[in-house]
Amino acid sequence: MIQFFLSKILAEDMAMHVSGPQPDHAVNTKEVVESPVGADKPAVTLLPVMTWYAHRVIIARRKCIIIMEATSRYAMVFCGMKKADFEHFPDLFQDRLWREVFAVCEGIPESDISQLSATVLNICEQQRYQIGHDRSVTAHIKQVAEHLELMVRYQGETLPVDRMAAFEFGVSVNELLRKRRGDKDYFRPVEAFQDLCGELISGDFIAVTVKDIDINNKLREKPNHLKSAAKNYSHSRKDGNVIHVDFKNKH
């Protein structure tokens, strides 16, 4: 399952996906969220496989969603969002997550490709949307928004509306060093996200917490392979155990 915590402003656009009674303010998600499963059944704690935080900003007069995975701080952007895009966001997210996993997590053994593909698609089948926030993640989302606005408003770049442009922007922000509450060292989100890909393959991801991710020795030279990741995956198809990613076309 994918757990999304939305800012109040984004929840207005995605009201069709928000489930259960919502507070009149964004709750601190450090508190465990329990969900009732029926009037005659006790509340149960739903354990997500991935937790993402999301916020909506307006840049160049167009709505943009910035989402960030809580553990790795890996960010994605969805720009130029329209009403239909908000309505179909669960499908948009599943498609983007699948593509970015295979574009970013290079070097996956061929024997693990099918399993990883199936796992990513499977965990996206159930997505829960609630209002909530985490101060640390929110601060990093704000930094991504500032980079996006700087690029478009002051550097004259085009808003990254299509998937390829959005991925390329993500490459730049996910290589920036970040630090989570309680961490001693800085780390790069893209490297932490690659670690999570390994957890998805091993099946141990559900037990992973922020502190479990090893970020020691993450201050190595800025990786160059991400700059050409999209070029290395030119088609979205499966050839045996090989998956090629095309950010431009949906198949």
pLDDT of residue 106: 76
Contacts of 84 (CB under 8 A, 6+ apart): none
pLDDT of residue 49: 83
Between strands 2-6 and 127-131, the pairing is: parallel
By percentage, how much of the chain surpasses pLDDT 70? 69
- Residue 251 has, within 13 A of its CA and on its CB side, a CA count of 12
Report the C-alpha gap between 126 and 147 in whole angstroms: 31
Q: Which strand (E) or helix (H) includes residue 230? A: helix 229-232
Contacts of 116 (CB under 8 A, 6+ apart): 101, 102, 105, 108, 197, 200, 201
Altogether, the residues listed in the chain come to a count of: 251
Report the C-alpha gap between 198 and 196 in whole angstroms: 5
Contacts of 21 (CB under 8 A, 6+ apart): none
Report the C-alpha gap between 16 and 47 in whole angstroms: 22
pTM for the structure as a whole: 0.77
pLDDT of residue 206: 43
Report the C-alpha gap between 52 and 48 in whole angstroms: 10
Q: Which of 146, 102, 30, 125 is nearest to 247 (CA)?
A: 102
pLDDT of residue 46: 46
Residues of the chain with pLDDT under 70: 20-48, 203-251
Report the C-alpha gap between 170 and 174 in whole angstroms: 6
Between strands 62-69 and 50-59, the pairing is: antiparallel
Helix ranges restricted to H, 61-219: 83-87, 89-104, 110-123, 135-149, 163-174, 189-202
pLDDT of residue 202: 77
